[in-house]
Structure 1
């Protein structure tokens, strides 16, 4: 089932645009507890999309894998409980 998880991205660094490897993903705005409602975005045939909550511009980069972003810190990394 891990291959069905939707990648999540955020804009903690406050950059104007984030390149990502996914065309379907969730924008969370910033890392919790400063996140906005997690919104599902789908670029479809386009190569860019703007989040309606935080106005972050996301650009698809086919060189990146689905869970990767540039800058890399904009990809949400799950932390495992100890």
Structure 2
């Protein structure tokens, strides 16, 4: 049984919000902050948010 790789989403800021994008099938909304690594993973759905190359990294 193959396991799907987590979804990778490129973003412009170091602060992101994830709710699983599944409507009623999603998960509670969580606010995530990237560290110096330039990425952060959602603890619920394992999505990986990656800072786009050249992005300033300022949270909104």
Q: Structure 2-normalised TM-score? A: 0.68
Structure 2 unmatched ranges of 5 or more: 1-5
Whole-angstrom CA distance in 2 between matches of 1:49 and 1:30: 17
Measured on the aligned residues, the alpha-carbon RMSD in Å equals 2.6
Q: Structure 1-normalised TM-score? A: 0.52
Whole-angstrom CA distance in 1 between matches of 2:31 and 2:8: 17
Structure 1 unmatched ranges of 5 or more: 1-14, 68-82
> Does 2:28 match 1:37?
yes
Bigger relative contact order, structure 1 or 2 (CA pairs below 8 A, ≥6 apart): 2
Alignment map for 1:16-35 (pairs within 5 Å)? 16-35=7-26
Poorly superposed stretches of 4+, deviation over 3 Å:
none
